[in-house]
A and B are shown apart, each in its own frame.
Chain A
Amino acid sequence: MIWNGSNECMSRDEMRELQNRRLRTTVERVYHNSTFYRAKMQELGIMPVDIETIDDLVKLPFTVKTDLRDNYPFGLFSAPMSEIVRLHASSGTTGKPIVAGYTRKDLSTWSEVMARTFAAGGCTRQDIFQIAYGYGLFTGGLGAHYGAELLGASVIPISAGNTEKQVQLMTDFGTTALCCTPSYALYLAEAIHDMGAQNKLKLKYGFFGAEPWTNEMRRELEEKLHIKAYDIFGLTEVMGPGVAYECEAQCGMHINEDHFLPEIINPATLQPVKPGEVGELVFTTITKEGMPVIRYRTKDLTNLMYDDCSCGRKTVRMHKIMGRSDDMLIIRGVNVFPSQIESVLLEFGETAPHYHLYIDRVNNTDTFDIHVEVRPENFTGDMTSMLNLGKRIEARITSVIGIRPHVKLVEPRSIERSTGKAKRVTDNRKLY
C-alpha cells in the first residue's frame, strides 16, 4: 500500500521543484541558525542566495561524523533548545556519541516516513506490530514506534532483549509484524524453535535494518519465520530509520527524497559519480528543523536507480548497501567486506548463519580466521566430511576474495548473539 500517494508518486519534474524549494529553505535556515554551517559556508564564500536548485548542491560543503563529534552535544543544531522536543544519541564505540535533536515538526516528518515504510510492506491498522528495536536513545525503537502508531497498527513496545517474553507475546498477542535487527531476528527464530512455538505464530512481515544484511540472510529469515522480510535503511544523523524502504518489488529501496536528498560521490575525489555508478551515499535533509545536515557523508557504498518501479512509486531507489568504506578490511593487501563472507556461508547453507572473523598479525603476516557454527542437522559423525566442509568453504571464500582464510567449525550457540547490531569482526592488528 502506498501511504502518501502524492509525494511517493510525484513526477520527476514536480519532485525536482519541491526539492529546489525545500533546499533553499534549508540552506537559509542553517546559514542563519547554525554557527557551524555559517562558518563553513563563509569559508567557501557561499551565501544562501547562491543555492537556487539542487544542481547547486555541489557548491555546498560536506558534513562528516567527526563534525558531529567535535561539536558535541548540540553544536550542529539549527533550532533553539526550547524548540527541541527530543534528543537521541547513537552508541559511540569510539569517542563521543552522535547526538540528534528533533523539533515537533521533525517528529511528525519522522512518523510520516516510517508509516510509508511499513505501509509499503503491506502493513495496515489491522496489524499487531512488535517492535524489538531498543527503545531509548537509539533511534530504532521510538522511530518505528511512532510510525507504526501513525499507521494505526497495534503497537507492542517490547524493545530489544528478553527473548522468552518476546516469543510469549508473539504467541499470545498474535503478532503479525516484527521490527528489529536481522541478527536479533535470527536469535528470535532460534528461540521460537527451542520453545516449540513455530506453529503457534501469526507472523506475516519483518522489517529489518540498523545493520547490513545479505539477500541470503533474507531468505534464511523468511524461511525460518515464515514471513516476507523487508529491508529498511536509515541513520541517526539524517533522521533515524525511515530514510529508505523496500516496496513489494524489492528491487532496491525507495528513498524519501522529498525529505532526504541523496547524492552518490566518489569517496576519493569527492565528485559526483556518473548516473547509476556505485559510490558513497551522501544525504542533505531538506525538511528537518532541529538538526538539518548538508551533504552528510554516510560512508555507505551503493548506487541510485531512477528507472520505473513496478509498485508505481516514482521516488529514486538505492541498492542494498554493498559495503562501507570503513567496514572494509584490508587483509594481506586485499579489500575484504564481511558481507562477502556472509554471502558465501549462507550460499553453502551447510553451516549456521553465525560467524565471526578474527584478524591478527603474526610474524608480520596477516592471519585470517573465520569461526562458523555447524548446523546439527548437517552433522553426520564423519570426520572426513566435517574437515571437508571446512576446506570447501575455505576454497570458495578464497575464490571470492582472493586470499585464503582458515575456517574453524565451532559448536552451535558458541558465537555471541546480539540483540542489536552484531559485531562480526575482531581485528587485533595495531594498524594505526
Chain B
Amino acid sequence: MIIKQLSVFIENKTGRLTEVTELLGKAGINLSAFSIVESSDFGILRVILSDPESAMKLLTKHGFTVTLNDVICLYVPNTPGTLNEALQILSENDVAVDYMYAFAMKDDIARVVIKPDNIERCIEVLQRSNLQLAKASELYEF
C-alpha cells in the first residue's frame, strides 16, 4: 500500500522542468502523477512513476537533488461526500495530512494521493474502515 513518490528540488529557471521530463521520457519511464509545489525561489516536483528507484539514480546522475517519500493512493467513488468521509476518518483517528492531491474524470473512480504524517497508522485506519487503497503494483512495476 505504500507508494514511492519521487521529490525533485528544482530552481525556478526556464527549462529545468523539461530537462526532467526529457530524461525520464528517454529512459522509458512512465509518469502516473506529476505536481509541483512552488515558492518564489524554487519548487519541489512530486512524481509518481513506473520505476522510482531507476528514476532516482538517473536524475541524481544528471545533477538533480532527489529523494523518495512514502505516500498512499486512495480510491474513492467519484460522488459528492466521499472525500469528506475519508478525511473525517483520518481526522478522528489523529492522522494528519501533510499534503494531498486528487483527480477524477466523469464516471471514474477518483484517485487521491495523500502524504500522511504517519503512514503505517494511516494505512491501518483507512483499511479498518474498508476504504480501498491502491497497491504499488497497480501504479508501477517494481
- A376:B65 contact, CB within 8 angstroms: yes
Q: Which of B60, B64, B98 contacts A382 (CB 8 A)?
A: B98
- A380:B67 contact, CB within 8 angstroms: yes
Annotate B38-82 by CB proximity to A: 1 below 8 A, 0 otherwise: 010110101000000000000010011111110000000000000
CB of A347 closer than 8 Å to a CB of B: no
Q: In the bound complex, how far is the Cα of B10 from the Cα of A382, in angstroms?
A: 13
- A386:B42 contact, CB within 8 angstroms: yes
Counting from the closest, the 5 A-B pairs by CB-CB distance are: A381-B7, A408-B41, A376-B65, A381-B69, A381-B67
- A412:B44 contact, CB within 8 angstroms: no
Which residues from A are CB-within-8-Å of B37?
Answer: 383
Which residues from A are CB-within-8-Å of B10?
Answer: 411
Interface residues in A, total, Cβ within 8 A = 17
Interface set, chain A 18-73, CB cutoff 8 A to B: none
Interface residues in B, total, Cβ within 8 A = 20
Given contacts A379-B7, A382-B98, A414-B11, contact A374 B65 (CB under 8 A): yes
Which residues from B are CB-within-8-Å of A413?
Answer: 63
Task: Give 11 new A-B contacts, CB below 8 A, not counting A383-B44, A411-B63.
Answer: A374-B65, A376-B66, A380-B69, A381-B44, A381-B69, A382-B98, A410-B41, A411-B11, A411-B64, A411-B65, A412-B65
Who on chain A is nearest to B16 by CB?
A411
Annotate A205-221 by CB proximity to B: 1 below 8 A, 0 otherwise: 00000000000000000
Which residues from A are CB-within-8-Å of B98?
Answer: 382
Q: Which of A379, A387, A411, A414 contacts B67 (CB 8 A)?
A: A379
CB of B140 closer than 8 Å to a CB of A: no
Who on chain A is nearest to B38 by CB?
A383
Interface set, chain B 82-122, CB cutoff 8 A to A: 98
Which residues from B are CB-within-8-Å of A381?
Answer: 5, 7, 44, 46, 67-69
| Distance to closest chain A CB from B81 (angstroms) | 29
- B63:A412 contact, CB within 8 angstroms: yes
Q: In the bound complex, how far is the Cα of B16 from the Cα of A413, in angstroms?
A: 14
- B42:A410 contact, CB within 8 angstroms: yes
Task: Name A's B-contacting residues (CB within 8 A).
Answer: 374, 376, 379-383, 386-387, 390, 408-414
Task: Show 8 A/B contacts (Cβ-Cβ < 8 Å), sorted by A.
Answer: A376-B66, A380-B69, A381-B69, A382-B98, A386-B42, A409-B9, A410-B11, A410-B41
- B44:A411 contact, CB within 8 angstroms: no
Q: In the bound complex, how far is the Cα of B8 from the Cα of A376, in angstroms?
A: 10
- B41:A379 contact, CB within 8 angstroms: no
| Distance to closest chain B CB from A254 (angstroms) | 42
Who on chain B is nearest to A383 by CB?
B37
| Distance to closest chain A CB from B5 (angstroms) | 8
Q: In the bound complex, how far is the Cα of B39 from the Cα of A379, in angstroms?
A: 16
Who on chain A is nearest to B44 by CB?
A383
| Distance to closest chain B CB from A376 (angstroms) | 5
- A386:B60 contact, CB within 8 angstroms: no
- B60:A376 contact, CB within 8 angstroms: yes
Q: In the bound complex, how far is the Cα of B13 from the Cα of A408, in angstroms?
A: 13
Q: In the bound complex, how far is the Cα of B9 from the Cα of A390, in angstroms?
A: 14
| Distance to closest chain B CB from A386 (angstroms) | 7
Which residues from A are CB-within-8-Å of B63?
Answer: 411-413
Given contacts A376-B60, A376-B65, A411-B65, contact A387 B11 (CB under 8 A): no
Which residues from B are CB-within-8-Å of A387?
Answer: 39
Which residues from B are CB-within-8-Å of A376?
Answer: 60, 65-67
- A411:B9 contact, CB within 8 angstroms: yes
| Distance to closest chain B CB from A95 (angstroms) | 35
- B7:A409 contact, CB within 8 angstroms: no
Q: In the bound complex, how far is the Cα of B42 from the Cα of A390, in angstroms?
A: 11
| Distance to closest chain B CB from A190 (angstroms) | 11
Which residues from B are CB-within-8-Å of A408?
Answer: 41-42
| Distance to closest chain B CB from A350 (angstroms) | 13
Which residues from A are CB-within-8-Å of B65?
Answer: 374, 376, 379, 411-412
Who on chain B is nearest to A406 by CB?
B41
